[in-house]
Amino acid sequence: MPAFDLPAAELEHYRPDVQEPPDFDEFWRDTLKEAAQTEVLVSVRPAENGLRLTRTWDITFRGFAGDPVRAWYSRPAGVPEPLPAVVEYAGYGRGRGLPHERLTWVNAGYAHLLMDNRGQGDQYGSGGATPDPHASAPGGPGPAARGLPDPRAYHYRRLITDAVRAVAAVRALPDVDGGRVAAVGNSQGGGLALAVAGLVPDLAAVLVTAPFLCGIRRALDLTDASPYGEIGAYLSVHRGAEEAAYRTLSYVDGVSFARRAAAPAHFGTGLRDTVCPPSGAYAAFNRYGELTGVDPRKEIHAYPYNGHEGGDAVHVRRQLDWLAGVLPVSRWPG
């Protein structure tokens, strides 16, 4: 697949207008205030992972509307002092899987919390464990279109709230340095991490790769690939519903969250990505932090001949090196 989005030279300066609803900040302030009415941690139980160098716990915390959300929490074995933490968000259709699957961050010396995706987990990977009690709202069957006619009923209002509460959950653990928490994600997870950066003002760092839900209107014009294709499929049946759908989507666009973020940020994108077009990543990157009054440290890595996989393991190594500089671990295991 040849490059299909804007040329690289244009992407570097791409700063599209942002169509934000006038009550964007009020909408999220009220949503998160409601979620914060309940104590965040429900249970923390040791989990067998078959590993000698990593300890894992099965955590349940309260997310949107107080709903229970599952997560794996892992940390290097034999390191008792509080550690900086990485909160990771999984991709579209994927759940938290099994406790031994994602070890990169814990092997780098961080405490690591991997949040389950409510109402997802059945498309690939090793499954999830968090239902979505509110999934009967009108809209398409897939999460991207679930509740689309109404921003208050939209799936991503719930999932983004869960993502913010995941940061509160990891900070509530006694062996975490709560002042040094980073958000990390790829694809849908990248969109969630970016939302967290815009909604959690004291986040220490954010690492965003191939983010979903960035520059949504343009992405819908460029690609039919899922998840954007699910939104297009819904609108192909519900003719005339575009205005309501676009209004809902304007509350979850990652470019709006990026404008409100201040944490140091590391981005990555493949210039041949037909799933999450690179113009969305660049729009978020180029407008990152513009409403905060600060000039946050940020960098982006583009991979001209790669699609949604982006830089893959090469990019992960860049993430590791960058985060070690921003959020160093004081003592390595072993």
226-265: pLDDT as tens digits: 999 999 999 999 999 999 999 999 999 999 999 999 999 9
What's the average model confidence in pLDDT over 140-151? 90
Contact (Cβ atoms closer than 8 angstroms) between residue 131 and residue 118: yes
Nearest to 276 by CA among 298, 250, 306, 249: 306
DSSP structure string for 195-216: HHHHH-TT--EEEEES-SSSSH
67, 116, 162, 273: the catalytic one is 273
Nearest to 310 by CA among 265, 274, 269: 269
Residue 15 pLDDT > 70? yes
pLDDT in tens, 264-301: 999 999 999 999 999 999 999 999 999 998 899 999 99
Nearest to 94 by CA among 74, 112, 116: 116
| Catalytic residue check, 308 | yes
> What is the structure's pLDDT at 55?
97
What's the average model confidence in pLDDT over 130-135? 90
Residue 129 pLDDT > 70? yes
Q: Whole-angstrom Cα distance, residue 286 to residue 179?
A: 26
The most distant pair of C-alpha atoms in the chain lies apart, rounded to whole Å, by 61
Counts for the chain of helices (H) and strands (E), in that order: 11, 9
Q: Is the model's pTM score more than 0.85? A: yes
With cut-offs at 50, 70 and 90, classify the pLDDT of residue 137.
low
pLDDT in tens, 61-72: 999 999 999 999
With cut-offs at 50, 70 and 90, classify the pLDDT of residue 332.
low
67, 132, 187, 256: the catalytic one is 187
The letter for the amino acid at 327 is L
Q: Whole-angstrom Cα distance, residue 321 to residue 4?
A: 31
With cut-offs at 50, 70 and 90, classify the pLDDT of residue 79.
very high
Dihedral angle, C-alpha 140, 143, 144, 149, nearest 10 °: 50
Rg, Å, the chain Cα set: 19
| Catalytic residue check, 187 | yes
> What is the structure's pLDDT at 152?
97
Residue 324 pLDDT > 70? yes
Residue 2 pLDDT > 80? no
DSSP-derived secondary structure letter, 9: H
The sign of the torsion formed by the CA atoms of 235, 238, 240, 245 equals: negative
pLDDT in tens, 188-234: 999 999 999 999 999 999 999 999 999 999 999 999 999 999 999 99
Instruction: Name 182's bridge partners.
Output: 86, 205
